[in-house]
Structures are given as C-alpha cells and as structure tokens.
Amino acid sequence: MKFTPKFKRNVLVLGASIAAIGYMFSIATTSIGVILFLITWQLNFTDLNFRGLYKINKLHLLAALFLILLIGVSYSTDLEQAQNDIVRHLSYILLPLIFLTSKPFTRKESDTVIKTYVYALTVFFLICILNAIYRQVNFSNQGGPFNWYFFYRYDFLEIFKQHPTYVSMYVLLSISYILNNGKKLFKKKWAAISLLIIQVLSIVFFGSRIGYIILLLILLIYTYKNLRLTPKKVKIKQGLIYLTSIISLLIISWNIPIVKERIQFTFGHQQDYKFNNKELIKNKTPEEQGRLLLWEDAFELIKERPLLGYGTGSPDKILYQKYKEKGHLLFLEKKYNTHNTYLELLLIGGATLLFVYLLALGALLFLGIKRKDTVLLSFFLIISIAGLTETLFIAQGIVFFSFFFCFLLSTKKYNE
C-alpha cells in the first residue's frame, strides 16, 4: 500500500494529537502517545530535514537537560533507578528530534492538535463527573447524605487514579487556548463558552491549590489583554463583565463546602465537616502541617553537593536516608519526594542541571513577551509556578513539559 504525502502528514498530526493528551487517562498513555508520534514521524521519513538538528534552536535545551541526566548516571547512588529515569526522560531527545526535522505544523494542523487536546480534557472531566454522580447515587441509596468528597480531588479523579495538580496543569493550558482563540477554534461562540465553563469547573473540582492560583493569574492576564484591545466606549462595560465573572467564580467556589474547607485548611483553619476524621487531624505530627520540614531536609543535602548533585536516580534514596536520620518517619512512610522541581533538580544534577532548566523557562518567558503570546506566557506560568510545589521531573510532568515546550516554540504566535 502506497501512502500519499497528505495521508502521511495527517497521520503525523494525529500522532501529535495523541502525544499532547499525554498521561491524562493513564500514565501508560504517555509512553503510548510518544511512541505513536515517533512511528508517525518515521512514516514521513522522506520529507524530513535533518539539517534542522544542527542549527542552534531553543529546543536543544531539552537535549542538554537529557545529556546532563545521562552524565548523572555515572555517579548515581541508585543505578537501577537512574536507568528508569533515563528511559522516562527519552522524550527530551525524541520530541526535539521530531519537531526539529519535521515541517512546522500549519495553522490548520495546529488547530487540529489543540482541538483534540481540549475535547479530550472535556471528555476526561465528564467521565469523572458521571462516576462521582454514580457513586453518590449508590451512597444515597444506602442512606448516606450528600458527600462532597466524591466530587473533589483524589476521590473525584479515582476512576483514572490521577494527581490533582498534574491534571490541573493540562487543563490550565487548555483554558488558555480557549481564552486566546476559542471562537476561531470552535467556530460557534456558544461552543467555546461551554468548553471554557467546563474546563474552569474542572479546575475547581480537581482541588489543586496551586491550580487555583495559576487559574486566577491566567484569567487576570486575559482580562488585561482583552481590555487593552477594547475600544474606550465599551471598555468599562467589558471590564465589569470580566470582573463580575471572576468574582462569581470565587463566590461559587467559596460556597462549595469541600473547596472552602481545603482553602481554610491551607491557612491553618480546620473545618468542622462531617466527613472529617477530627481525631486523625488532631494527632497529626508537625510533618503533616506543611512542606517546610521536607524542604529543609532537601536543603541540607544540597549544601553538601551544590554543583553536580547526587546523580540521576539518587534523590529518593538519599532523601529517605535523611528522613530516617532526622526522625521524619511520616515522610519516610509516605516516600515523599521534594515536592519542588527546583530542589529536585539541585539534588539530581546540582546548579548545572538547574541552570539549564532555568534557561528553558527563560526561553518561554522571553519569547512569550517578545511575541506577545499569551498562550506561551500561560505555559511559562503553569510550569514555573507548579514547580514550586510539585516535582515535574516524574512521569506525569515530563511529557507535558517536553511536548508543549517543543510545540509552542515551533509554532508561530498562535493569535497572529
């Protein structure tokens, strides 16, 4: 069977669309998506231009990150884990290879990838909400009251066994795409608005506190952008609409008991909610009250090897030893990582690895400002802020970062 160039190109776009969805429905789909993208790239082999690999490009920063991780294997304290980590980070080599050698996606092809991405996240949320309703109906039939926990955080995501913050990162980027160009993407204004409402609600239900902060920042950025471009005659009216929408979202969220409980707990206030185990809360050790102790443990280790770190695959092993030494047994029991991307990078490859990562973030920020590209700026905010409380160099964050780093930097300003 002979494949036409158009067919092969369409298959490549399909591969990119699947890779973009990443780990949403399962961590396994991350690897499947990258592999399919690689296969569809090979199908287009005759149309590839390998000279793109030799021209200086910001995508090479991902390859530099991979190279440092590879060097880190040579002095790792856990070779087995180091090998696993190298395999997990292969997308830092494979995705730049695909994007640098393939013809850049046209606007129509980019739209296909983005729409598939937005629709997939919408389907994800709808499946979760239907599962939560099903669980609540069964619970009610057994005489139980309404349980908000079915509709929030880990319970809400239990059907896919996903992490609230990582899922929120995917959805936040989707929200940025809709706000940026939803009308053109989905043709009908009502479709764009409906998708936006669903995606914003999903952030509320996922319950990631850092997700709430990033969502608010993204909404404020687009409010400023739209008002700046709005004629003076309608600027006040438009501003009131945006302000009312944001305030309404805050009021609605605050009046959902489980959301209010989590926000207040963040600031040290314990809610008296019927599904809380108050004895469990009362008897928690200081370790459960925040991440400062966790970060202090990591800092102590970083000070000992600040330049090159402890090697690829080493952070977990050395952290567990530190937890045991300091008597932080809860951290050891739950096998906590640093919950901070920047500290994790310092543990792995020291200041060298962190510097290259910061260069990558700087590239996103610089081009976002230079192009006045709000989607690129949103992606920078998502990665840089989420990295303060989560370790993005694990399975859930690796492909999300590497795919959209390549996709966004290889695409012209989307709203041009």
Average pLDDT over residues 279-306: 72
pLDDT at 29 over 80: no
Percentage of the chain exceeding pLDDT 70: 88
pLDDT of residue 348: 96
The answer to the question of residue 32 being in a domain is yes
**pLDDT band, residue 402 (cuts 50/70/90):** very high
CA–CA gap between residue 200 and residue 344 (Å, rounded): 30
Average pLDDT over residues 197-204: 93
pLDDT of residue 236: 73
Lowest average pLDDT, out of 101-110, 227-236, 275-284, 308-317, goes to: 275-284
Does residue 91 share a domain with residue 113? no
Does residue 265 share a domain with residue 116? yes
Does residue 182 share a domain with residue 124? yes
pLDDT of residue 261: 65
Between 278 and 198, where is the model more confident? 198
- Cβ atoms of 91 and 398 closer than 8 Å: yes
pLDDT at 131 over 80: yes
pLDDT of residue 286: 53
Does residue 378 share a domain with residue 336? yes
Query: For 66-124, how does the pLDDT look when each residue is reduced to its tens digit (9 = 90+)?
Result: 999 999 999 999 999 999 999 999 999 999 999 999 999 999 999 999 999 999 999 99
The answer to the question of residue 414 being in a domain is yes
Does residue 226 share a domain with residue 88? no
Does residue 165 share a domain with residue 215? yes
Does residue 247 share a domain with residue 165? yes
Does residue 84 share a domain with residue 5? no
Does residue 94 share a domain with residue 123? no
Note down the domain range covering 240.
Answer: 109-269
**pLDDT band, residue 280 (cuts 50/70/90):** very low
pLDDT of residue 288: 52
The answer to the question of residue 347 being in a domain is yes
pLDDT of residue 136: 92
**pLDDT band, residue 375 (cuts 50/70/90):** very high
pLDDT at 300 over 50: yes
Place of tokens 């640093």: 338
The answer to the question of residue 173 being in a domain is yes
pLDDT at 148 over 90: no
Q: What is the mean pLDDT of the chain?
A: 86
pLDDT of residue 337: 87
SS (HEC) of the chain: CCCCHHHHHHHHHHHHHHHHHCCCCCHHHHHHHHHHHHHHHHHCHHHCCHHHHCCCCCCHHHHHHHHHHHHHHHHCCCHHHHHHHHHHCCHHHHHHHHHHHCCCCCHHHHHHHHHHHHHHHHHHHHHHHHHHHHHHHHHHHCCCCCCHHHHCHHHHCCCCCCCHHHHHHHHHHHHHHHHHHHHHHHCCHHHHHHHHHHHHHHHHHHCCHHHHHHHHHHHHHHHHHHHHHCCHHHHHHHHHHHHHHHHHHHHHHHCCHHHHHHHHHHCCCCCCCCCCCHHHHHCCCHHHHCCHHHHHHHHHHHHHCCCCCCCCCCHHHHHHHHHHHHCCHHHHHHCCCCCCHHHHHHHHHHHHHHHHHHHHHHHHHHHHHHHCCHHHHHHHHHHHHHCCCCCCCCHHHHHHHHHHHHHHHCCCCCCC
The answer to the question of residue 51 being in a domain is no
pLDDT of residue 263: 62
Does residue 333 share a domain with residue 211? no
pLDDT of residue 74: 95
Does residue 244 share a domain with residue 361? no
pLDDT at 243 over 60: yes
The answer to the question of residue 160 being in a domain is yes
Query: For 352-373, how does the pLDDT look when each residue is reduced to its tens digit (9 = 90+)?
Result: 999 999 999 999 999 999 999 9
* Number of domains composing the chain: 3
pLDDT of residue 415: 41
Lowest average pLDDT, out of 144-158, 249-263, 337-351, 378-392, goes to: 249-263
pLDDT of residue 414: 47
CA–CA gap between residue 71 and residue 85 (Å, rounded): 12
pTM over 0.85: yes
The answer to the question of residue 242 being in a domain is yes
pLDDT of residue 275: 39
The answer to the question of residue 88 being in a domain is yes
Does residue 132 share a domain with residue 17? no
